[in-house]
A = this chain, B = another copy of it.
Amino acid sequence: MSSNRDIDNLIELMAKLPGLGPRSARRAVLHLIRKRALLLTPLADSIQRVAETARECLNCGNVGTSDICDICSAEKRATGELCVVEDVADLWAMERSGVFKGRYHVLGGTLSALDAVGPDELRIPRLIDRVETEAITEVILALNATVDGLTTAHYIADQLGGRVRLTSLAQGVPIGGELDYLDDGTISAAMRARKDV
């Protein structure tokens, strides 16, 4: 408690952010107040703008500031390749890698019997629509290599069966990875998928 209502209120809200607790929220707020011109005012404006405009893309589920996100509305990204990811964070990771030039489809999670997440809780019906209506030539499944991720991949493969070329990310040794520290699953996956040099 900072002895001031407005500041306490800000600290409480900051403390709700993932990765921040009450203590780090207090530090962050003090830092903001000290760096008013440099950080506090710009952050206030920026967060206000995002609060007013941020929304989910109606087409792919990415977050943006318009009904159709910048990727979906960029003509040059209509390559016919559609990259399916679980989550917006995964889409951002793909974008950072800069390797993919097509469009995305964000499922919004994975099928999960435990959490009772079925195809209709996810954006799977919409995915099938898109494959039928847009000129999609290849669907790339970039789901996490978890049990739920694999289940979801199988289900989608089942639904799309044959309508379109279906690929998934290669599994193997990560760049810079040391065999000694890799789990057996990764090593055997890399072994099975070995390539001629």
Contacts and interface: CB of A to CB of B under 8 A. Distances in A.
Interface of A: 1-4, 6-7, 9-10, 13-14, 16-20, 24, 26-33, 36, 39-44, 46-51, 53-54, 62-65, 69-71, 88-89, 91-92, 95-96
Given A9-B46, A31-B18, A1 B95 contact: yes
A33 B49 CA distance: 12
B65 A4 contact: yes
Contact of A51 (B18, B31, B36, B54): B36
Nearest to A40: B51
A54 B36 contact: yes
Contacts of A42: 13
Given A1-B95, A6-B50, A63 B27 contact: no
Contacts of A43: 10, 13-14, 47, 51
Contacts of A91: 3
A54 B3 CA distance: 13
A20 B9 contact: no
A50 B40 contact: yes
B40 A16 contact: no
Nearest to A23: B19
A53 B27 CA distance: 19
B18 A70 contact: no
A49 B6 contact: yes
B47 A4 contact: no
Contact of A92 (B2, B16, B69): B2
A53 B10 CA distance: 13
